[in-house]
């Protein structure tokens, strides 16, 4: 009997010892890792090519002013209801750098270089053309149904045209840059710059013909831009080229001085009971102040 009791006791002790060993082994094992839900792709991925086009490229912005010279256009006047269909030849005009009662002449450029040398640019030249009062010009055609062929004085009664709130060249241009001194865009560097492109003319036309002024309405939100009505009207096309120098005086700021030549054709410029047509060349000296942004890869802190 005692021997059987001791056998039972020994068996219980062995069982308890085995359980203790298993608990010790379990304590030494690492805890199972928490289950992590699968990651979802973000809706906005900044590494996509379209995003890098805006963030990693070399962008620039310019603002400045200019001085302009215009060739002498032949201006055709058509007012069918009044019996007027005549052309005024070799009309002289001038610009208005300080505004002539409106905003002064200004120039805006926004561009991006695709390579070290080649880029693209959108530009606005807020140019102005105002006919010279008192000049004598040849006039041929019909006025009031009566044939005319002779010189006439252009004044504020017979004829006066003002593109004084802008002849407004809007252009898309290809840009070429050639380094002349220093590293491109670094402080105290100089580069030659060339541009060429096409665009539209969006002029504001104010004119008086035979004592009758035109009326394009007020400069209001609902009457800003149009094709046959509006304060500014899509009334032409333009093509041009410019060449000059860009000097980076303190990175990323620079000055750009260029000479631009552009040809513009105008149609359906608004007149009283009719329209005007003309075409002319513009020669322009432009000085702008610019800023270059080289992209997040070049400026990761910005």
Q: What is the CATH number of the domain that holds 213?
A: 2.40.160.20
Predicted pLDDT of residue 57: 83
Q: How far apart are CA 302 and CA 294, in angstroms?
A: 11
pLDDT value at 65 more than 50: yes
pLDDT value at 19 more than 70: no
The helix or strand, by DSSP H or E, that contains position 33, with its residue range, turns out to be: none
Instruction: Label residue 17 left, alpha or beta by phi (over 0 means left) and psi (-120 to 50 means alpha).
Output: alpha
Residue 89 belongs to a domain: yes
At residue 28 the predicted structure's pLDDT band, cuts being 50, 70 and 90, is low
Predicted pLDDT of residue 40: 55
Cβ contact 73:279 at 8 Å: yes
Predicted pLDDT of residue 56: 75
pLDDT value at 216 more than 80: yes
| Token representation of residue 257 | 């001085």
Count the neighbouring beta carbons within 10 Å of the beta carbon of residue 301: 4
The overall average pLDDT reported for the chain is 87
Q: Give 83's contacts (C-beta < 8 A, 6+ positions apart).
A: 142, 143, 144, 145, 146
At residue 12 the predicted structure's pLDDT band, cuts being 50, 70 and 90, is very low
Q: How far apart are CA 25 and CA 191, in angstroms?
A: 76
Q: How far apart are CA 94 and CA 92, in angstroms?
A: 7
pLDDT in tens, 153-168: 999 999 999 999 989 9
Residue 43 belongs to a domain: no
Residue 213 belongs to a domain: yes
Predicted pLDDT of residue 6: 46
Q: How far apart are CA 226 and CA 101, in angstroms?
A: 23
Instruction: Tell me phi and psi for residue 218, to 5 degrees.
Output: -90, 160
As for how many domains the chain has, the answer is: 1
pLDDT value at 43 more than 80: no
Domain that holds residue 173: 58-293
Residue 39 belongs to a domain: no
Predicted pLDDT of residue 278: 98
Burial of 209 (0-12, 13-18, 19+ CB in 10 A): buried
Mean pLDDT confidence for 242-261 = 97
Predicted pLDDT of residue 265: 97
Residue 214 belongs to a domain: yes
pLDDT value at 7 more than 70: no
Residue 285 belongs to a domain: yes
Q: What is the DSSP string of 116-163?
A: SSEEEEEEEEE--EEEPTT-EEEEEEEETTEEEEEEEE--TTTEEEEE
Q: What is the pTM of this model?
A: 0.80
Edge to edge, what strands does the sheet with 159-163 contain?
93-94, 129-131, 159-163, 206-209, 212-213
Residue 272 belongs to a domain: yes
Q: Give 226's contacts (C-beta < 8 A, 6+ positions apart).
A: 232, 233, 234
Predicted pLDDT of residue 301: 38
Residue 26 belongs to a domain: no
Predicted pLDDT of residue 294: 81
Predicted pLDDT of residue 23: 55
Predicted pLDDT of residue 299: 44
Pick the more confident residue, 217 or 8: 217
pLDDT in tens, 72-127: 999 999 999 999 999 999 999 999 999 877 889 999 999 999 999 999 999 999 99
């Amino acid at each position: 009997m005692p021997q059987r009791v001791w056998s039972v006791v020994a068996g219980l002790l062995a069982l308890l010892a085995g359980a203790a060993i298993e608990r010790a082994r379990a304590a030494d094992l690492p805890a199972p890792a928490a289950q992590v839900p699968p990651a979802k792709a973000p809706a906005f991925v900044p590494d996509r090519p379209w995003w890098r086009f805006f963030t990693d490229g070399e962008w620039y912005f310019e603002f400045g002013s200019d001085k302009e010279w215009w060739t002498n256009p032949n201006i055709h006047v058509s007012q069918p209801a009044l019996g007027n269909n005549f052309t005024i030849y070799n009309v002289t005009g001038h610009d208005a750098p300080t505004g002539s009662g409106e905003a002064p002449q200004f120039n805006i450029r926004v561009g991006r270089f695709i390579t070290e040398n080649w880029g693209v640019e959108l530009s606005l030249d807020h140019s102005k053309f105002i006919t010279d009062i008192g000049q004598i010009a040849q006039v041929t055609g019909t006025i009031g149904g009566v044939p005319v062929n002779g010189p006439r004085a252009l004044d504020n009664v017979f004829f006066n045209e003002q593109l004084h709130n802008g002849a407004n060249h809007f252009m898309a241009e290809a840009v070429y840059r050639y380094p002349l001194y220093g590293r491109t865009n670094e402080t105290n560097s100089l580069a030659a710059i060339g541009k060429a492109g096409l665009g539209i003319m969006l002029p504001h036309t104010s004119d008086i013909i035979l004592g009758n002024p035109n009326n394009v309405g007020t400069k209001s939100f609902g009457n800003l831009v149009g094709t046959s009505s509006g304060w500014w009207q899509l009334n032409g096309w333009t093509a041009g080229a410019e060449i000059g120098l860009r000097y980076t005086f303190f990175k990323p700021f620079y000055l750009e001085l260029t000479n631009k030549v552009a040809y513009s054709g105008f149609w359906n410029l608004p007149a009283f009971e009719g329209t005007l047509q003309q075409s002319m060349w513009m020669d322009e000296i432009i000085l702008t102040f610019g800023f270059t942004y080289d992209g997040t890869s070049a400026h990761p802190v910005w």
